[in-house]
Structure 1
Amino acid sequence: MVDIAHQAAINPASAKDAAMSRALVPLTAIEPGQWRALAQRAIEPNGYYLPGWELAVSAAARGRADALALRAFDGSSTRLIGLMPVIPLWRAWKIPLPALVSAHPYGTLCSPLIDREISSEAATRLLQRAREAGAHALILRDVALDGAAMISLNRALGRTGLKPRVLSSYIRASLDATRDGEQLLREALGTRKLKELRRQRHRLEEHGPVAFEVARKPNEIKPALETFLQLEASGWKGKRGTALVQDAGDATFIRRAVPALAETAQCEIVTLRAGAAPVATGIVLRHQDRAFFFKLGIDERFAKYSPGVQLTLELTRHLCADPAIASADSTASADHPMINPIWRGRFAIGDVLIPLRRNDPVVALIHAALIARGVTREMVRSAVHLIRK
């Protein structure tokens, strides 16, 4: 598939291309004030599609640059009511078919921003804009399958006799932050496990007083971010070459995104110290009443004290004590060995194919290509596993 934005640029005279250029624009063309206002009204929080974060991702992050904006306005064409960062299917997976894929925002949630005040109109107009862009299907990656954004899109599809197709799904851990933190931890971990963790914390205190710190203000968060980057690179991610600071684009993205969100009180960095030494640190995004646990870095020299778990216990207490936060998304993989035993809430995340035209043979081709790609990837993973064994 030729890049849709490029198609619009090479032949601007035609009405079709003009519609395509209206439907898809660079993310930088979205007025920041309108984007922020839509985020405040969004029917479902998504910290990874806040402007300060997604613009930094699209400008610099490895393999994620130059996303396009699928946008919807109300009838007056002045109020932004829907926004979905996207890329063409060809660019996403080298499949030469006319579809758009949600742009991955260096997080694991791609639920679009849909205006809760007019969610039906917003969802309908987003789908129409995708049709005008020449797409026969939308592929939403990592969306909350039962979330409010997906429900709005399902209703809009239903009015035209279309149904989404779930391509894959898994269950992810979350935190009910409306509960008392101590009671929640007792129920999740049990007396014996908490006693063992307290013993490890007492051992950690032999290296200095243990303190939990929260950096929120821009002047606080920049040095806290550098501490996070150093810890992440010092561990297994550094050995594997996937730490953020090891790629120039990724380092640029995170150093832009974190201070930008701190300016709007939508990001904080939590750190656990033993004396002067940081032993674990994490980045947390905040959108509306939801927190998003982006990444965790630990000093592996303190591994026997479970520093990542110790930090997560403190973060749990911190979020449960905050009246502004009702829930937290772990943004972790399925069956994550550290977070799943602590955060016992669960919700479904999946990849969804949304057809945009009825009885469209192209949609069947797109679906078949995606299935074939999934089967091939699974065969490669299995082969690598056998070779390693």
Structure 2
Amino acid sequence: MKTERYIAELTSLPAFEPEREGWSALAREAIEPNPFYEPGFLMASARNLERPDAIILLVVRDSARNNRPVGLFPLCWPRLRDGILFGAISLYRNPYTSLSTPLIHADCVPEVLDAAFGLLAAPGGQADVLHMPLISASRPFGAALAAYCAGRGLPQRIGSQFSRAAIETTLSLSEYQRALARNTRKSLTRKLRRLEERGPVAFTTIRKNSPEGQKALDEFLYLESLGWKGQRGTALASKPQTRAFALSAFGTGNDGPDLFFERLSVNGRTIAMNVNLIAQRVVYTIKTAYDEAYGDYSPGALLDWNTIRFGTAGAGIARLDSCADPGHRIETIWRERESIATLIVGVTAAVAPARLDRIETGMRWMSRAIGGAKALRDKLAGAA
């Protein structure tokens, strides 16, 4: 559908893949970063985690820029766990994505939304309600979307909202560490000293495309498989398809998101690792693993404590996002919070607000049902 100079179209990932250069440029110039929608990560997801054609791409092009993509919305049909049975389409996510913010060029957000929403709402379009999970509510896209919906008279609902640990500060490293709770500082310092009694302790940073990059990924996959995730079958290396996804998304020599590994070792033995994606000077800690044999030393917490240095003044990083669930122990170390919301948007003013209310009710019911099932599973596992 054409809106002045902006043209929206639906296509497939294989058809769009040859435009990786323009796609990557859009990711760099987007109003908000999202490494999970960059070419390498999204293609790795599609090839290894999804059935063919599960992901539909809504692409908006700018005819004044030689038809370069200025908007990218990876779409899929909602799944049962979303609590949306019909009448809506969703921005894509999988268990390894922590954001679903669409990639939209920073200087034409309203125009891109006009074209994209117009295509969805047109006769024969996909759906007139857009389900948007995992949106950073207080960031530029969230604010721009709220203003856009208000200006166009589009109904919008917040289906759910939570906060996760982050670092966004002007404090120096020493100032930030001093601002932590006294008991937290004392506990971490004591555990680090006890660990040093076992042998030399080293914190190491490894970039993806460094000579050690592939070895670091293999080491992470092995370490994760040794712990509870391996026992439950949810470690990346537990299944051929998730292992293939990890090698494609995080491995060396591809155009996936920039990333680095953090490693904590004692006596040359790795006891904790993090995988961190980087986009527009924002770091996303999306995977963590630690050696449970060293659990008394809290190696994961020590590694997160060491990571503070990347987010404090002078480090060159805008902020850190833990990508962690609410209530995670990292909240005692990373003091700021990132607000994450699930939004439900009617893409045309003709969508009745009551319809969004019904969708929201279904989502809340399903969320409670899933939460209850998980609690029962954990209780039964503890009793076994």
TM-score of the aligned structures, taking structure 2 as reference length: 0.87
CA distance in 1, matches of 2:126, 2:303: 47
User: Are positions 1:211 and 2:197 aligned together?
Assistant: no
Corresponding residue number in structure 2 for 1:119: 109
CA distance in 2, matches of 1:165, 1:172: 21
Deviation at 1:368, TM superposition (A): 1.7
User: Are positions 1:162 and 2:154 aligned together?
Assistant: yes
CA RMSD, Structure 1 to Structure 2 (Å)? 2.7
User: Are positions 1:67 and 2:55 aligned together?
Assistant: yes
Residue 116 of structure 1: SS of its match in structure 2? coil
User: Deviation per CA, 1:126-176, whole angstroms, max 9, x where unpaired?
Assistant: 222322433111000010112211222223323321131101111121102
1:207–1:28 distance in 2 versus 1, CA, 3 Å: farther
Alignment of 1:123-272 (within 5 A): 123-132=113-122, 133-176=125-168, 178-190=170-182, 192-218=183-209, 219-259=211-251, 266-272=258-264
CA distance in 1, matches of 2:301, 2:52: 30
State whether residues 221 and 262 of structure 1, in contact with CA within 8 Å, keep that contact through their aligned partners in structure 2.
Answer: no
CA distance in 2, matches of 1:126, 1:255: 33
State whether residues 273 and 288 of structure 2, in contact with CA within 8 Å, keep that contact through their aligned partners in structure 1.
Answer: yes
Which amino acid is the alignment partner of residue 164 of structure 2?
A: R
Which amino acid is the alignment partner of residue 130 of structure 2?
A: L
Which amino acid is the alignment partner of residue 200 of structure 2?
A: P
Which amino acid is the alignment partner of residue 92 of structure 2?
A: A
User: Are positions 1:53 and 2:41 aligned together?
Assistant: yes
Which amino acid is the alignment partner of residue 33 of structure 2?
A: P
Match of 2:282 among 266, 281, 290: 290
Residue 326 of structure 2: SS of its match in structure 1? coil
CA distance in 1, matches of 2:143, 2:70: 16
Which amino acid is the alignment partner of residue 89 of structure 1?
A: P
State whether residues 174 and 330 of structure 1, in contact with CA within 8 Å, keep that contact through their aligned partners in structure 2.
Answer: yes
1:261–1:89 distance in 2 versus 1, CA, 3 Å: farther
Corresponding residue number in structure 2 for 1:346: 337
Deviation at 1:306, TM superposition (A): 0.8
CA distance in 1, matches of 2:233, 2:255: 30
More deviation, 113-122/244-253: 113-122
CA distance in 2, matches of 1:90, 1:242: 20
Corresponding residue number in structure 2 for 1:5: none
Deviation at 1:66, TM superposition (A): 3.6
Corresponding residue number in structure 2 for 1:307: 299
Gaps of 5+ in 2: 2-6
CA distance in 2, matches of 1:27, 1:351: 24
Deviation at 1:247, TM superposition (A): 1.6
Corresponding residue number in structure 2 for 1:10: none
Deviation at 1:370, TM superposition (A): 4.7
TM-score of the aligned structures, taking structure 1 as reference length: 0.86
State whether residues 71 and 129 of structure 1, in contact with CA within 8 Å, keep that contact through their aligned partners in structure 2.
Answer: no
CA distance in 1, matches of 2:203, 2:47: 33
Deviation at 1:321, TM superposition (A): 6.4
State whether residues 52 and 260 of structure 1, in contact with CA within 8 Å, keep that contact through their aligned partners in structure 2.
Answer: no
User: Deviation per CA, 1:310-366, whole angstroms, max 9, x where unpaired?
Assistant: 111111113436643110111111121x211111111321111010122335x7446
Deviation at 1:294, TM superposition (A): 0.6
Deviation at 1:93, TM superposition (A): 4.8
1:383–1:240 distance in 2 versus 1, CA, 3 Å: closer
State whether residues 64 and 104 of structure 1, in contact with CA within 8 Å, keep that contact through their aligned partners in structure 2.
Answer: no
Percent of residue pairs identical: 28
User: Are positions 1:99 and 2:99 aligned together?
Assistant: no
1:261–1:178 distance in 2 versus 1, CA, 3 Å: farther
Corresponding residue number in structure 2 for 1:9: none
Deviation at 1:29, TM superposition (A): 2.6
State whether residues 62 and 250 of structure 1, in contact with CA within 8 Å, keep that contact through their aligned partners in structure 2.
Answer: no
Which amino acid is the alignment partner of residue 375 of structure 1?
A: W
CA distance in 1, matches of 2:20, 2:342: 28
State whether residues 235 and 299 of structure 1, in contact with CA within 8 Å, keep that contact through their aligned partners in structure 2.
Answer: yes
State whether residues 261 and 267 of structure 1, in contact with CA within 8 Å, keep that contact through their aligned partners in structure 2.
Answer: no
Corresponding residue number in structure 2 for 1:6: none
CA distance in 2, matches of 1:175, 1:147: 14
Residues matched between the structures, number? 367
User: Are positions 1:89 and 2:78 aligned together?
Assistant: yes
User: Deviation per CA, 1:61-86, whole angstroms, max 9, x where unpaired?
Assistant: 26898422122112436121111211
1:263–1:116 distance in 2 versus 1, CA, 3 Å: same
Corresponding residue number in structure 2 for 1:23: 9
Alignment of 1:33-44 (within 5 A): 33-44=21-32
CA distance in 1, matches of 2:257, 2:341: 29
Residue 359 of structure 1: SS of its match in structure 2? coil
More deviation, 88-97/69-78: 88-97
Which amino acid is the alignment partner of residue 80 of structure 1?
A: P
